[in-house]
Amino acid sequence: MKLYEYEGKRLFSLVNIPVPRGQVVKSPVHVQGKVVVKSQLLEGGRGKRGLVRVTEDSYGTIQELMKEGINTFLIEEFVPHTREIYLSAMMDRETGNPMIVASPFGGINIEESKDVKTFVIPIDRKLMRYDVDAIEKYVGYRGLGGVIEGLLRLILEYDAELAEINPLAITENGPLALDSKVILDDNALYRHEELLKELQREKVPADSYVELEGDVGIVGNGAGLTMATMDLVKLMGGNPADFLDVGGGADTEKVASAVIRVGSNPKVKKIVINIFGGITRCDEVAKGIVEAYRKINKPIYVRLTGTNEDEGKKILQSQGIRVYEDALTAIGDALRS
């Protein structure tokens, strides 16, 4: 679960990472002096889009930004500083340990930066002075111990899968997190119910829906197969509009709601469904597709094979839904229509 900046900063405070003084508002307010008005959105690139503004007129600025459809703002004190650093923490997939990612330059596009180094901290011991030393030496600033410790606590105690500070400002009074990007591990939310309550966030239902740019809706069973289907649509000249993996062993209800979800996206003109039934039974899938088809009424191209496929095909054909033996033909027909 991705957190808003102000929610991430709330977490930062809990683990003693210093953040600027600020308040969250949902309507224009007057604040004395120079402040930073930051639109609270889950997407990145706010700065580039002009959605973060330094101003002496908080009221007017918020009024203006509200016209762009933004409804939550973080107003923070303006903090003068001399330099910026990048710091983040996540689990290292290769070694299974938490790691700190650091750069002497903040505000950078980390994916493209060459000045980035990772520091693995073994999970079975606590953070040591020499770990901190190595990181401080690399970024060229002393006094990061508390921040690094806080980031690691977010990973190990709060189950964050990413905790990022970009930039971390170096001020007269030490480091200060100017921004936050925190993503919590959905699978661990059950042990942070108190925190969710405090943030007034609901546990998100686990589904894999991802929105894309094109006009072909994609439903499959299994992440790999669904991704492969999406890639095939692209390779064959189409454009995927979204992605939804119904998961293993999906029943009628689950399939129906998945197809309706994808089909309700107004960008979707047609839907490609790719099912390889193993644990999943094709007759269950077919019933779900029929149910959804009645509601969304967009062309559906189904590739259906595996457990109980004959029953499944009969169900679909009796409703006039095209059903195919292999995915290539199904996608080909969908793209030509």
- Residues in touch with another protein (CB under 8 A): 90-91, 93-94, 96-97, 101, 110-112, 116, 123-124, 155-156, 159, 161-162, 185-188, 190-191, 206, 208, 210, 212, 220-228, 230-235, 240, 243, 245, 248-249, 276-279, 306-307, 328
Q: Which of 164, 284, 301, 309 is catalytic?
A: 164
In the residue annotation, 324 being an active-site residue is answered as: no
Residue spans of beta strands (DSSP E) within the chain: 22-25, 35-39, 52-55, 73-77, 83-92, 97-103, 117-120, 160-171, 174-177, 181-184, 210-211, 216-220, 240-245, 270-277, 300-306, 322-324
Angle at 308 between CA 307 and CA 312, to 5 degrees: 125
How far apart are CB 35 and another protein at their closest, in Å? 29
Q: Smaller CB distance to another protein: residue 37 or 272? A: 272
Cβ-in-10-Å burial (0-12, 13-18, 19+) of 76 comes to buried
Q: Which of 86, 158, 293, 324 is catalytic?
A: 86
In the residue annotation, 164 being an active-site residue is answered as: yes
In sequence order, the 6+-apart residues with CB closer than 8 A to the CB of 286 are 302, 304, 311, 312, 313, 314, 315, 316
Q: Smaller CB distance to another protein: residue 53 or 261? A: 261
Pairwise CA distance, residues 21 & 75, whole Å: 9
Angle at 95 between CA 12 and CA 222, to 5 degrees: 85
Q: Smaller CB distance to another protein: residue 54 or 279? A: 279
Exposure letters 269-281 (e unless 16+ CB within 10 A, then b): bbbbbbbbbeebb
Q: Smaller CB distance to another protein: residue 251 or 291? A: 251
Coil, strand or helix at 99: strand
**Cis link prior to 167 (omega < 30° from 0)?**
yes
Nearest-CA neighbor of 275 among 266, 264, 288?
A: 288
Pairwise CA distance, residues 60 & 40, whole Å: 17
How far apart are CB 105 and another protein at their closest, in Å? 15
Q: Smaller CB distance to another protein: residue 65 or 232? A: 232
Q: Smaller CB distance to another protein: residue 79 or 228? A: 228
- Torsion sign, CA atoms 281, 234, 267, 46: positive
Alpha-carbon torsion angle 151, 147, 45, 11, nearest 10: 60
Give φ, ψ of 16 to 5 degrees: 65, 30
Here the tokens at position 33 are: 């002096």
How far apart are CB 293 and another protein at their closest, in Å? 22
Q: Smaller CB distance to another protein: residue 64 or 207? A: 207
How far apart are CB 242 and another protein at their closest, in Å? 11
How far apart are CB 248 and another protein at their closest, in Å? 6
The catalytic residue positions are 86, 164
